[in-house]
């Protein structure tokens, strides 16, 4: 089976040779023009160039070598294709990378887990006696030493130390019972 690619060096029909000659004569300038319009995107530039040549193949009688100026016509086709492609992209929602949705979902899951954990901690704090909660607030949450907390609470330092110890032990047990380690 003998396959001939349109515009290739082994093209046999006059149309195929004319398309090849058209590409050789105008292709580099057309490529540079489209590349500039697309901001250096070589892949899209090649697609536009190919579509432009395909339209030349379909719309014109290349073998006749019509006297019309082909170059301006090709540049206009290429320009219109670039504009159409831009309009199409702007009409569609923005594309996202393949793993972006997964990252976003993981962030949402982390936020949900953090919220649920804070609810469990809040409930565990509520399960403490008022004296134990007050000792934790005066020391850990207020970033005070046990002596400073004792002065604020008006109790001996040893009492603050024992309340903090037993509060943390109770808190640890309550959190463990609710599935948090």
Q: Which residues contact 62 (CB under 8 A, 6 or more apart)?
A: 14, 15, 18, 19, 22, 56
CA angle 137, 143, 145 (to 5 degrees): 95
Q: What is the mean pLDDT of residues 17-36?
A: 88
- Considering the four listed CATH numbers 3.30.70.20, 3.50.4.10, 1.10.10.10, 3.40.190.10, the one that applies to the domain covering 100-177 is 1.10.10.10
Give the span between the Cα atoms of 127 and 124, in whole angstroms. Answer: 5
Closest CA to 81 of 44, 28, 118, 131: 44
Q: How many CB atoms lie within 10 A of CB 139?
A: 22
- Return the closest-CA partner of residue 5 out of 48, 50, 65: 50
pLDDT tens figures, 65-75:
554 578 888 89
Pairwise CA distance, residues 153 & 63, whole Å: 101
The Cα–Cα gap between 61 and 65 comes to 7
In the predicted model, is pLDDT for residue 160 greater than 70? yes
* Over residues 130-153, mean pLDDT: 93
Q: What is the pLDDT of residues 100-130, one digit of tens each?
A: 666 666 777 777 777 877 888 888 888 899 9
Give pLDDT tens digits for 35-52: 998 988 899 999 999 999
* Whole-angstrom Cα Rg for the chain: 38
Contact 24, 7 (CB under 8 A): no
pLDDT band with cut points at 50, 70 and 90 for residue 80: very high
Q: Is-contact 153 167, C-beta < 8 A?
A: no
> Does 2 have pLDDT greater than 70?
no
- Within the chain, which residue ranges are assigned CATH 1.10.1740? 14-91
| Cβ contacts of 121 within 8 Å, gap of 6 or more | 175, 180
User: Percent of the chain scored above 70 by pLDDT?
Assistant: 80
77 within 8 A of 22, measured Cβ to Cβ: no
Q: Higher pLDDT residue, 96 or 56?
A: 56
pTM: 0.45
Among the four given CATH numbers 1.10.1740, 2.40.10, 2.60.120, 1.10.3470, the one describing domain 14-91: 1.10.1740
Residues of the chain with CATH 1.10.10.10: 100-177
Higher pLDDT, 39 or 7: 39
In this predicted structure, the answer to whether residue 131 has a pLDDT above a threshold of 90 is yes
């Amino acid at each position: 089976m003998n396959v001939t690619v349109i515009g290739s060096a082994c093209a046999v029909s006059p149309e195929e040779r004319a398309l090849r000659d058209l590409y050789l004569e105008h292709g580099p300038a057309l490529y540079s023009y489209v590349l500039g319009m697309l901001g250096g995107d070589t892949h899209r530039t090649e697609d536009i160039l190919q579509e432009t040549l395909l339209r030349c193949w379909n719309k014109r009688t290349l073998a006749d070598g019509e006297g019309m100026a082909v170059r301006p016509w090709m540049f206009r086709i290429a320009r219109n294709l670039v504009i159409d492609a831009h309009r199409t992209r702007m009409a569609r929602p923005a594309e996202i990378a393949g793993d972006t949705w997964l990252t976003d979902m993981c962030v949402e899951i982390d936020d949900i887990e953090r919220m649920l954990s804070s609810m469990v901690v809040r409930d565990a704090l509520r399960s403490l006696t008022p004296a134990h909660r007050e000792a934790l607030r005066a020391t850990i949450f207020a970033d005070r030493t046990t002596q400073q907390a004792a002065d604020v609470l008006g109790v001996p330092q040893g009492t603050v130390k024992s309340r903090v110890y037993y509060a943390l032990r109770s808190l640890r047990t309550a959190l463990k019972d609710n599935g948090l380690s």
